Amino acid sequence: MNVVLLGIPGSGKGTQADFLKNRLGLRTINTGDLLREAMKKKTELGKRTKEFMEKGDLVPDKILLDFIEEKIKEQKRSSGFVLDGFPRTLKQAEDLDLIFQKLGTELDCAIKLDISEKRARKRLEGRLVCPFCGAFFNLETNPPKDDILCDICGNKLVRRFDDNKETIATRIQVYREKTKPVENYYKKQGKLEIINGDAEADVVSRRIISVLGK
Ligand SMILES: [Zn+2]
């Protein structure tokens, strides 16, 4: 089972990707995580990525697609994968299909988590991360037990750097302009499933399982 998760920032893609990983044994492919990992390990791709990021440029599609192709190859013998945060543009979706063809596999389902912008903004503004151990919390959906201290190590939690009001508005706007066409692309292929994402995480998870027929 190969799945793509779509939805504006704050729609819960990361949470549901983790759920699918645990429940169905799918491997998660998150381009943001892949890039960070490669930079940390200082691989060839990681070094190239870092150059772009240091210049403030977007990482070119070619690099992202190489990463993804690599990951899909590694996972061919597993039970499938879930892509979170990719494709973000129509061109990326088309290129992704070419990779699938090349590797003799295909996408089974694109799931769009539908949520109002107001709710998404609230969730994003509530996101907290522990700078010490990396644990995530959310004032809206998963609040820390003690004020804004980490449940695990007790350090003070901070907001994610890209979760301030202006960048959130920009990221939602970018989704509308660039990623919305990706939804239509999968709709035409008969692969798009729209799920109401405005509910508790486990309710949304059950909805996903039901459309996947698992
Ligand atoms: Zn911590």
pTM of the model: 0.85
DSSP string, the chain: --EEEE--TTSSHHHHHHHHHHHH-PEEEEHHHHHHHHHHHT-HHHHHHHHHHHTTPPPPHHHHHHHHHHHHHHTTTSS-EEEES---SHHHHHHHHHHHHHHT----EEEEEE--HHHHHHHHHTEEE-TTT--EEETTTB--SSTTB-TTT-PBPEE-TT-SHHHHHHHHHHIIIIIHHHHHHHHHTT-EEEEE--S-HHHHHHHHHHHHT-
- The verdict on whether 160 is a catalytic residue reads yes
User: Domain span at residue 47?
Assistant: 3-115+166-212
**Given the residues 88, 112, 123, 207, the one annotated as active site:** 88
136 CA distance to ligand 1 middle (Å): 8
- Do residue 27 and residue 90 come from a single domain? yes
Catalytic member of 171, 178, 187, 191: 171
Number of domains in the chain: 2
> Is 127 among the residues known to form the active site?
yes
Which tens digits make up the pLDDT trace of 58-117? 788 988 898 899 888 887 667 899 999 899 999 999 999 999 999 999 999 999 999 999
* Residue 145 and residue 192 in one domain: no
Ligand 1 center to residue 141 CA distance, Å? 18
Q: Which of 160, 165, 176, 206 is catalytic?
A: 160
Do 103 and 199 lie in one domain? The reply is yes
